[in-house]
Structure 1
Amino acid sequence: SLGEDVVGEVRTRLRFDAARPYEVLLTFHLGRPDEADWVFSRELLRDGLRTLSGQGDVKLWPAYCPCHGATVHLALESPHGSALLEASRPRVQAWLDRTYALVSERQERRCGPTDAELAALLADG
């Protein structure tokens, strides 16, 4: 549940599994037992570094502020609440570049989700 307002730094972790290169996982570390992964497409993250990207539960867009420099904003919505995160755009871009070095976009298309996996993803969403 993200129902409580948390202002300040929240430890988050982005993860990538080369076996499922079309998705990234984001975990909040709020020190609660019900921590869950948010799963969204790697393409959405890539596009969100340049322009408004996403719809529904996950939206990303680039921003700039004098105190933090180039950032990316990530808005998450769930039945339990919502969250707005801000991260360093260069750091996210560097992480993303490493994922594409592991599995290129062309390779990703070749091992995209099966119809069954897509159905499961949509059922969860």
Structure 2
Amino acid sequence: MDTVLYLLGRQIKVPVFATFRYKESDPFAVSIDFIFDGTVTSWKFARELIKEGLRQPSGQGDITIWTAANDAKSYSIYFRLHSTEGVTIMEGDFHSISQWLEQSYMIIPCGAESLSIDWEVILRKFFEKD
């Protein structure tokens, strides 16, 4: 899903193009590519974190997610991203991100992620000798 998130600063909101991705080959994870000023920055984290963040403040460490009402009819979702370079807070549309998450469950349902992993291949690679 391509969308615009807003980088929140003191007194300003800066639009940042973002691409949300979900791959069947990595069923537990989601990726967000942020494109700003010609630079792409990618973050990868648990799909479950977005699910939880849509309901209650979630996460700790590098990524936290929460929601807040803008007015009586609209909500935003917030992503706090912490890296060695600092902390960034991004704001996105609650409805479009929750819809995207629901679409990801059409690819692999919530709770069925481990069923899509070829555990034999993973174990074989793990026990291979160099």
Q: TM-score range by the shorter chain?
A: 0.7 to 0.9
> Which sections of structure 1, spanning at least 5 residues, go unmatched?
116-125
SS at 2:112 equivalent = helix
1:16 is aligned, of 19, 22, 36, to 22
2:38 is aligned, of 29, 32, 44, to 32
**Residue type at the aligned position of 1:12:** A
What is the Cα deviation at residue 83 of structure 1?
1.0
Compute the RMSD of aligned alpha carbons.
2.3
**Residue type at the aligned position of 2:87:** S
**Residue type at the aligned position of 2:15:** E
What is the Cα deviation at residue 13 of structure 1?
1.2
Partners in 2 of 1:7 and 1:70 — Cα distance?
A: 16
SS at 1:8 equivalent = strand
Partners in 2 of 1:87 and 1:54 — Cα distance?
A: 17
Note the 1:40-119 alignment, pairs <5 A: 40-66=45-71, 69-111=74-116
User: TM-score, structure 1 length as denominator?
Assistant: 0.78
SS at 1:55 equivalent = coil
> Which sections of structure 2, spanning at least 5 residues, go unmatched?
1-8, 124-130
Q: 1:49-91: per-residue Cα shift (whole Å, max 9, x none)? A: 0101100000000111129821111100100122111111110
Partners of 1:74 and 1:85 within 8 A in 2:
yes
Partners of 2:17 and 2:34 within 8 A in 1:
yes
Bigger Rg, which one: 2
- What is the aligned length? 110
Q: 1:1-60: per-residue Cα shift (whole Å, max 9, x none)? A: xxxx68421111111111111000011110334x23101100001100010110000000
Q: Which runs of 4+ in 1 moved over 6 A?
A: none
